[in-house]
Amino acid sequence: MRFRLAIAGALAGGLAAAAPAGALNPQQAGLQVALRAQGLYDGPIDAIVGPKTVSAIRAFQRTHGLRVTGLADAHMRRELGPFGTPLFGARTIARGEFGWDVAVLQFLLVRHGISVPVNGYVDGPTIRAIRRYQRQLHLAADGVVGHATFTALGLQTRIPVRAAVQTVTRVYVVKPGDSLTAIARRQHMTLGQLTRINHLNPARYLVIGTKLRLPAAVNVSAAVSATNATAVRASIDRWAAHYGIDASLARALAWMESGYQNDVVSPVGAQGVMQLLPSTWKYVETVLLRHKVVHDANGNVEVGLALLHHLLGVFGGNERLALAAWYQGERAVRQVGVYKVSKTFVSDVEALKTRM
């Protein structure tokens, strides 16, 4: 817990059930995040619809009484709730927005080498990541994703703007037996891409010891989450039942804080699934629980929901006041009321609650 002041695609029939190996459509990252929010997908957020993604689609369709096709069509996206729409590029993205398009944006930022949690919510870290990307592309660093930023990301080609995207690279030293063709194949690049990046003539000999620039691999799955979303959701449900908290409220709060990611650390030091400051953890252990809690994902959820239970009790079961106190602090709510920025956070959690 911490106080944080802080294209549309042509998808006629639905998102493909099975993509060819290596196929990548950034819109699919939004689908994977939406399925992760439902606790059905714990694979990498890689925008590739493979067997795990298809299995999660089918599971969602079965549990929601939809025709089981393995295709995420418009009907299924509506059933996914706030994370099922809108598709990326359909609207301007600004602070406080959440949805499918925000998850896609965060995925693309990670692929451009900018670390940001992929949770479908535009909070402070996401705004800072957007501004960093905009500065790299010499755009107005306003933290708002509009036409110019969409164009730079390469997903609104109808706007004729040429942007020189900076590519994160690493150095590779040519070894005996190497060839440009073999290196390009290993990097999943075309020969033309490799030679253009390095200003090489493919007709000439490749000299051993030559230093080549290669795109740096971005491990999106690691950047997104090292935690099993299904296990985290189960932990949330277990501790919510233990403390008598509405499970949907607990899920929504955990998702809004971290996207069920226990490896997320905020700029102010809030950690884990519930984004708890060390001082908050110590307070809950010593005052509320009176015992030590293991510092893992399950422990983070236990401590977080113990605190939420306490705040609900303090404010007579009023969820809005309890959530505001979670966001800005119990004393601040008592002394000055709910801050404007807290009202946005509370409304977003309550909106997610109806679909979690």
Has domain 229-353 been given CATH number 3.40.50.300?
Answer: no
Helix extents (H) in the chain = 27-37, 51-63, 74-79, 100-111, 124-136, 147-152, 180-186, 191-198, 220-224, 229-243, 247-258, 278-283, 297-314, 319-328, 330-336, 340-353
The residues that bridge with 172 in the sheet, in sequence order, are 212
Q: What is the pTM of this model?
A: 0.61
DSSP class of 330 = H
Of 220, 218, 223, 234, the C-alpha closest to 264 is 223
C-alpha 277/C-alpha 124 separation (Å) is 16
The residue among 243, 252, 260, 255 whose CA lies nearest residue 320 is 252
Superfamily of domain 27-152: PGBD-like superfamily/PGBD (1.10.101.10)
Cis peptide before 86 (omega within 30 of 0): yes
Concatenating the DSSP letter of every residue in 302-327 gives: HHHHHHHHHHHHHTTT-HHHHHHHHH
In the three-class reduction of DSSP (H, G, I as helix; E, B as strand; rest coil), residue 151 is classed as helix
The residues, ordered by sequence, that sit 6+ positions from 190 with a Cβ below 8 Å of its Cβ are 184
pLDDT of the chain, 356 residues: tens digit per residue: 544 333 333 333 345 444 443 446 889 999 999 999 888 998 888 888 889 999 999 999 999 999 999 999 888 999 998 889 898 888 999 988 889 999 999 999 998 889 888 889 898 889 999 999 999 888 889 999 988 888 788 654 332 323 333 445 678 888 887 887 788 777 766 677 777 778 887 767 778 888 888 875 444 443 344 447 778 888 999 999 999 999 999 999 998 888 888 887 776 788 899 999 999 999 999 999 999 999 999 999 999 999 999 999 999 999 999 999 999 999 999 999 999 888 988 988 888 887 77
Torsional sign, CA 118, 86, 19, 24: negative
Question: Can you give the pLDDT at residue 275?
Answer: 92
Instruction: Specify the residue for token string 């997610």.
Output: 352
3-state SS string for 22-77? CCCCCHHHHHHHHHHHCCCCCCCCCCCCCHHHHHHHHHHHHHCCCCCCCCECHHHH
- 7: how many CB neighbours lie within 10 A of its CB? 19
Residues of the chain with CATH 1.10.101.10: 27-152
CA angle 6, 134, 253 (to 5 degrees): 30
Residues of the chain with CATH 3.10.350.10: 169-217
Fold of 169-217: Membrane-bound Lytic Murein Transglycosylase D; Chain A (3.10.350)
